[in-house]
Amino acid sequence: MKILVVGGVAAGTKAAAKYKREDRSAQVKILTKSTDISYAGCGLPYYVGGMIGTREELIVNTPEKYAGLTGVEVVTGCEVTALDAAAKTVTAVKGGDTFIEGYDKLILATGAVPFVPPMEGTGLPGVFCMRTPDDAAGLRAYVEKNHCRTAVVVGAGFIGLEIAENLKAQNLEVTVIDAAPQIMPNAFDVEMANFAARKLKDAGIRVLTGRSIQAVTGAERAAGIQTDGGPLPADVVVLAIGVRPATGFLTGSGLEMFKGTILVDQQLRTNLADVYAVGDCAMVSNVLTGQRQWSAMGSTANIAGRVLARSLAGHDAVYGGCMGTGVVKLLPDLNAGRTGLTEVQAKAAGFDPVSVVCVVDDKAHYYAGASSFFVKLIADRASRKLLGIQVLGAGAVDKMVDIAVTGLAAQMTLDAFDTLDFAYAPPFSTAIHPFVQACYILENKLSGAFETFTPAQYAAGEAKDYRVIDVQPIAAIPGAKWVNLAKVDGPIDGLDKDEKLLLVCAKGKRGYFLQNRLKAFGYTNTRVLEGGATFNVVKVPRSAGSALPPEEIKRVKGLGCLQDKRYGDRFNVRVITRNGKITAEEQRTVAEAAERFGSGEVTMTTRLTLEIQGVPYENLDGVMEFLNQHGLETGGTGSKVRPVVSCKGTTCQYGLCDTFDLSQKLHERFYVGYHSVSLPHKFKIAVGGCPNNCVKPDLNDLGIVGQRIPEVDLSKCRGCKVCQVEKTCPIHVAKVVDGKVVIDPTVCNHCGRCVSKCPFGAIEDGTYGFKVFIGGRWGKKIAEGRPLSKIFTSEEEVLELTEKAILFFRDEGQSGERFADTIQRLGFDYVEDKLLHGAVDKEAVMNKTVVGGATC
């Protein structure tokens, strides 16, 4: 028996190895186009991000190692170009030579190839797909070699979002676009996808949906992309639009195919005798609907490959179908998982789905690292059978998905999960498993005990006639009536029993508790907002002429919208410009935003940001969305790292360092990267190119000044009567003493003006570096920063020191005090020692709860 396998990654190698174990006497041979086999395709994004250190770690088995372990013959670099099923042969090409290979049984496991649309620029350097180890290695090397700062990822599916997260981990500014109206299309319902997109945006990843790519721009290498919504500049472009089955060579072979996939039955048989197909090139079926479904997943490939091998060996083995199971890491603190049908898919399949979105604890709430699962659970209304689940959260979303997989396979109803004995201990789960809690909530909804609006219904405006009741422990929804749940023991004053009431708490539980009580007291028209204020963006419409509540003014101020004190409902919207450097296109965008949403006026702030003047409250969402769609953001307020300001040292005649380059890195790593990190107060950073101190670095919480330390070669000093070094020194520190030029290092400000001024070469060189000031500030209480004793000689040292200072301030600062106050309280020597010599436990510091005290 000769088993010939075409394709050597997941499905092919799995089927070949398993069959060889079943029948050691069989001849099993793999022909594969690549030089690599059995590589970790799902690990490619993590190689890009540095989580996987070397390319070799991506290779599960080399051809030699695999052949030795399994006994399977492997031929690499071999492309199969045709199939003759009648003759039981394939035609292949290796090294330019064509040959014919026969078989008794043929397994087609050719996988899939990236889809690259036919458009201009896709062949430019700096454009990458993500399918092979070479793709990942090439992208990582290109980013490092070209010092890339910005990236566009085209495609917001699992791979695209994984690549985006890993490029973000390399401190790139990342934009993700997708032609679909949501991220993760066909995998998540729109409300779950939109919640995930908001989290990505909060983390600094720009997400643009409903945006199609038209071309890659650039001359000698990629410079961005052109979309139907305008250009997007970028240093590197990743095309993660999707994949297509690698089956072009099978045209005319007689195989029954559908949209490029090979149709198979449950035993992976094709319509041709002794020809089988498995993996990404094959079309399987969905367990729940019985309909054809393409499952281009590594898990499906491996499982189906094993089933095929056992079936060929004579076992009663069948592949029952897929469920669309998937899990993806979106951010360091956000994972997503799903299985079964979405609500949209369930309706299309003929079910009558009912769903609930709920927020449940992922482990005991009091245990360190506890977080939440954001769950959408879907069941059939009449039969109560589970149909699908979608889960987002910081923790192990896969365990929720895996429970659902088992339930779907067993066709379990919601109620069948109610008393299952799931594992519990505080570090792992809750006493009632979070999956079971979600079942309980949906069961309550089915019974009528829990009457709700789903997030989708709320977003569609179905609750517009309802009065919003804030049920959170502390009033937090501007314009809503707050109700103290603990004190509700009868009808509530001011609430009519037949009034339409939308009960909103943080997650949904307190809303349900209040609804239960109100029903008992005769209230007839209450609804709870599923997922509460944590999952939904809740706003209470403001009646005309009414004043904005202080809480709302504070909220929008945190988004960079500062109230114009002359009016009650007009704001100046602060646009971050990356140290005052802005493109002509961005200038046009700001001008258009000012005309469309504001007064038409734009002002400049002292920290080199722009403010769009006179934006009515009702236009705030519109102007921020418009700016975001064009790559600009608002902000720059609150107890956080503020926008970095720098002088023009890059182009100034006195400039000693590339201030734009350094300030851009500081902006990306700390303003963008630390955007969600609360500090005891605001933290301002300034970069000066020389001791002229144009942007007053020593009056910022942390100031960086370019330095050039002169190096005197006294053997070349002639002790001239008119010393050119002494004459050049702007602060008169250089002096000729006893016939030699002397520069007092304790007074010299390292401006570098003296270098190369001696005609005899006494000062021909100087060490470039940076002086760092800490504890400066300007305002009501002025403090001049003090320089650290060390001169830093690389940008990376400065970046590391800056992060250390921010973490130190977060850890040892007290709410409401500036960094200067912290230094004064603890002592400069103590702080300097900590920054220069101490260690900081970043994870522990970031896990602390810090309340900021900034009022602007």
User: For the whole prediction, is pTM greater than 0.85?
Assistant: no
Contact at 8 Å (CB) between 328 and 40?
no
> What is the Cα–Cα distance from 380 to 391, expressed in whole angstroms?
18
Residue carrying the six token digits 């190839």: 113
Element (H, E) at 660: helix 659-666
> What is the Cα–Cα distance from 331 to 161, expressed in whole angstroms?
9
> What is the Cα–Cα distance from 286 to 305, expressed in whole angstroms?
17
Dihedral sign for Cα 716, 720, 723, 724, please: negative
- The pLDDT averaged over each successive group of 10 residues in the chain (856 residues) is 94 96 96 86 87 85 91 95 96 95 97 94 95 92 93 96 94 92 96 95 89 94 91 94 95 95 96 97 95 93 96 95 95 95 96 97 91 97 97 96 97 96 94 97 97 96 95 89 94 94 96 96 96 93 74 85 87 87 88 96 88 93 89 86 89 88 90 88 95 92 94 92 94 93 91 93 89 93 94 94 97 95 97 95 91 80
Q: How far is CA 222 from CA 23, 233, 333, 542, in A?
A: 51, 9, 31, 47
Buried b or exposed e, range 790-817, using 16+ CB within 10 angstroms: ebbeebeebbebbbbbbbbbbbbbeeeb
Q: How far is CA 60 from CA 39, 63, 166, in A?
A: 5, 10, 21
Contacts of 150 (CB under 8 A, 6+ apart): 172, 173, 174, 175, 233, 234, 235, 236
Which stretches of 677-762 are DSSP H helices? 724-728
Contact at 8 Å (CB) between 295 and 287?
no
**Side chain identity at residue 119, one-letter code:** M
Contact at 8 Å (CB) between 393 and 373?
yes
DSSP output for 470-483: E-SSS--STTSEE-
> What is the Cα–Cα distance from 510 to 482, expressed in whole angstroms?
12
> What is the Cα–Cα distance from 825 to 753, expressed in whole angstroms?
38
Dihedral sign for Cα 670, 672, 677, 682, please: positive
Contacts of 524 (CB under 8 A, 6+ apart): 497, 498
Residue carrying the six token digits 């800056």: 802
Tell me the chain's radius of gyration from C-alpha atoms.
32
Q: How far is CA 645 from CA 106, 150, 701, 783, 810, in A?
A: 65, 20, 12, 18, 21
What are the beta bridge partners of residue 263? 283
> What is the Cα–Cα distance from 510 to 475, expressed in whole angstroms?
13
Beta strands in 696-747, from DSSP E residues, in sequence order: 702-711, 734-737, 740-743
The encoded tokens of residue 497 equal 């029993």
What's the confidence (pLDDT) of residue 743?
A: 92
The encoded tokens of residue 650 equal 């890059």
DSSP class of 667 = I
Residue carrying the six token digits 């004053």: 493
CA-closest candidate to residue 463, choices 420, 517, 526: 526
> What is the Cα–Cα distance from 241 to 275, expressed in whole angstroms?
30
Angle CA(481)–CA(485)–CA(491) in degrees, nearest 5? 75
> What is the Cα–Cα distance from 720 to 741, expressed in whole angstroms?
9
Cβ burial, residue 487 (10 Å; 0-12/13-18/19+): exposed
What's the confidence (pLDDT) of residue 732?
A: 94
Strand arrangement, sheet containing 702-711: 645-646, 685-688, 702-711, 765-774, 786-787
Residue carrying the six token digits 């405006």: 461
> What is the Cα–Cα distance from 396 to 373, expressed in whole angstroms?
9
Domains of the chain (ranges, CATH numbers): 2-113+245-312 (3.50.50.60), 116-241 (3.50.50.60), 333-450 (3.50.50.60), 453-535 (3.40.250.10), 550-629 (3.30.70), 639-707+768-856 (3.30.413.10), 714-763 (3.30.70.20)
Three-state SS for 166?
Answer: helix
Three-state SS for 462?
Answer: coil
> What is the Cα–Cα distance from 69 to 423, expressed in whole angstroms?
37
Q: How far is CA 615 from CA 200, 497, 539, 571, in A?
A: 26, 39, 18, 5
CB count, 10 Å around CB of 315?
A: 11
What are the beta bridge partners of residue 150? 173
What's the confidence (pLDDT) of residue 808?
A: 97
What are the beta bridge partners of residue 227? 213, 230
What's the confidence (pLDDT) of residue 196?
A: 97
Contact at 8 Å (CB) between 437 and 358?
yes
CA-closest candidate to residue 659, choices 632, 631, 635, 695: 695
What's the confidence (pLDDT) of residue 581?
A: 80
> What is the Cα–Cα distance from 432 to 438, expressed in whole angstroms?
10
Element (H, E) at 338: strand 334-340
- Backbone φ and ψ of 135, nearest 5°: -60, -50
